[in-house]
């Protein structure tokens, strides 16, 4: 599986994504600068977490206008896989690749801790190595992770099986406890928790490994 990680200014989790992908796939991902106009020939594009552009304006809003995002959209339109983690999820909503928006946490405080997630859907390329209903522990680190969408959109996400992860003990006020969603073509996943931080027991757990195994099985 060939992959790329987009490098935005101040998005400080690009190295975490690189290390996880290299550990899981055995090959280093391409690191693509946000002002590049083209992507290399890859199967998966990762938009990492962090604080792109210092979270000015709205989280992910400035990054969504970066030159590389046109190539990311084209990659998704052709059926290529895209994974947006934390700030990457925010970028995906700001760029229109996913519906809804990420708002300030309900408690108006930055939340940084391991959280329990329920795996809601496994019939997709990102979660097929999990069991439906399985509970996993994945860390969060965000101040704007409160997922919002109107009722019609939320009902459509639920009805089409596009809610992949749901919080158990909602840390940020997200509508219907949503932690991760798919686009309508099911090849773009945005999630606020950080699976790349739980692929090695040395860093506190391995519950993120199944996500990368799922992608590797699909794309290899």
Residues with catalytic annotation?
86, 194, 196
Cα within 13 Å of Cα(83), Cβ side: 27
Stretch (H or E) spanning 23: helix 14-25
Per-residue tokens: 101: 């928006």
Those residues whose C-beta lies under 8 Å from the C-beta of residue 62, and which sit 6 or more positions away, are: 52, 53, 56
The single residue listed with the structure tokens 């405080």 is 109
212: helix, coil or strand? helix
Per-residue tokens: 179: 């932690």
């Amino acid at each position: 599986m060939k992959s790329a990680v987009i490098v935005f200014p101040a998005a400080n989790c690009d190295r975490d994504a690189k290390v996880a992908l290299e550990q899981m796939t055995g090959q280093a991902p391409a690191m693509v600068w946000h002002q590049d106009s083209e992507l290399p020939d890859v199967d998966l594009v990762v938009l990492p977490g962090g604080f792109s552009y210092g979270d000015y304006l709205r989280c992910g809003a400035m990054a969504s206008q970066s030159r590389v995002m046109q190539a990311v959209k084209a990659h998704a339109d052709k059926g290529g896989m895209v994974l947006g983690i934390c700030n990457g999820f925010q970028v995906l909503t700001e760029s229109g690749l996913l519906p809804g928006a990420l708002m300030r946490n309900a408690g108006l405080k930055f939340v940084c801790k391991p959280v329990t997630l329920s795996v809601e859907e496994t019939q997709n390329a990102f979660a097929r190595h999990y069991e439906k209903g399985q509970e996993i522990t994945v860390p969060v680190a965000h101040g704007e992770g409160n997922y919002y969408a109107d009722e019609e959109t939320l009902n459509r996400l639920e009805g089409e099986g596009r809610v992949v992860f749901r919080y158990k003990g909602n840390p940020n006020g997200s509508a219907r406890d949503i932690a991760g969603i798919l686009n309508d073509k099911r090849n773009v996943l945005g999630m606020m928790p950080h699976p790349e931080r739980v692929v090695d027991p040395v860093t506190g757990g391995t519950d993120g490994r199944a996500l990368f195994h799922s992608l590797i099985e699909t794309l290899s």
